Structure 1
Amino acid sequence: MGNKREQIKMTPDEIQEFLASQFKVQIATVDPDGAPHLVTMFYTLLDGRIAFTTYARSQKVVNLRRNPVMTCLVEDGLEYGELRGVKLKGKGRIIEDPAVRTKVGRVVGSRMAGLPVPELGAPIDPVIAEGIEKALAKRVVVVMEPDHVTSWDHRKF
């Protein structure tokens, strides 16, 4: 029957489905003094990986340029028996390509504004697109490149 840890572990397909169904991620990078810098961000999946936009001069980007180590946590559930989550440890890859920034930014920007969320790369209303582009001008995309993934789904008990 295996131990509890093995019983609640998600399959790779379950992990992808879970990550695709959520939109907030907790991001931890390493500050210059070694302390964790922890923030919550809206995200989407880019080629199956967590991706988000942030200001190019934000502390998390400054940290990643110095040390690309990053941990992400996506979690859900209110009661113990409903808890599920995925923790990814790896490296944050910074992308400055405007096309990628637009692709990710339209999804994340729509979520942040409470607007209908387009599919990644789908066309959106030109007025909304223009507003999002202005908001993205000073931003970059960060993509989580995981080396290690841990998951749990207490609903499997």
Structure 2
Amino acid sequence: MSRRAQIVMTDEEVAAFLAEERVVTVATLGPGGRPHLAPLWYVPEGAVLRGWTYGSSQKVANLRRLAQATLLVEAGDSYELLRGVSLECDVEVVDAPERVAAIGVDVLTRYAGSPEVAASATQFVRVQAAKRVGLVFTPTKVVSWDHRKLDGGY
């Protein structure tokens, strides 16, 4: 068996990893054809990731031109601990205010640390939703790795 085959995560491991980590790097293509990278908070929902961002951001301009992105979530401070998931995605840019607000509430709930904090910030989310869009990332290809599966052997 190849080393590559040994470090691939199962679907369940990918889901657990995406639920555990907190920041995804979103790569879109800028107007000059170069990659544009931006961090984003996200909510995993099965294989799909959802987030929200300012509608005037460069990544949104890029996604309106080409609704595709590559996402990277990674962790590990040394080679034998490296883990990651790369997702090639089709992207839906959500403009409907109620859907944007719903995504915003889900993101805030995940990152606020408690449902009470998220509930108290609902009005903040509604105000912010007017300036933001939702992003729904649907993977078309997933590549994963977990070097911990090699038990220190290379």
Q: Same fold (TM over 0.5)?
A: yes
2: CA distance, partners of 1:29 / 1:117: 32
Q: Which residue of 2 aligns with 1:35?
A: 34
Please tell me whether residue 98 in structure 1 is matched to residue 91 in structure 2: no
Residues 1:123 and 1:136: Cα distance change in structure 2 (over 3 Å):
same
1: CA distance, partners of 2:8 / 2:20: 17
2: CA distance, partners of 1:63 / 1:124: 30
Deviation at 1:116, TM superposition (A): 1.7
Q: Give the paired residue count.
A: 150
Query: Which SS does the other structure have where 2:56 is aligned?
Result: coil
Q: Percent identity?
A: 38
Counterparts in 2 of 1:105-124, with a 5 A limit? 105-110=104-109, 115-118=112-115, 124=118
Q: Which residue of 2 aligns with 1:154?
A: 147
Please tell me whether residue 134 in structure 1 is matched to residue 133 in structure 2: no
| TM-score normalised by structure 2 residue count | 0.88
Query: Which SS does the other structure have where 2:121 is aligned?
Result: helix
Residue segments in structure 1 that go unaligned for 5+ positions in a row: none
Query: Which SS does the other structure have where 1:38 is aligned?
Result: strand
Residues 1:151 and 1:40: Cα distance change in structure 2 (over 3 Å):
same
The answer (yes or no) to whether the contact 1:110–1:117 under 8 Å persists in 2 is yes
Deviation at 1:123, TM superposition (A): 9.8
Deviation at 1:117, TM superposition (A): 4.5
Query: Which SS does the other structure have where 1:52 is aligned?
Result: strand
Deviation at 1:15, TM superposition (A): 0.7
2: CA distance, partners of 1:143 / 1:67: 14
Query: Which SS does the other structure have where 2:33 is aligned?
Result: coil
Residue segments in structure 2 that go unaligned for 5+ positions in a row: none
| TM-score normalised by structure 1 residue count | 0.86
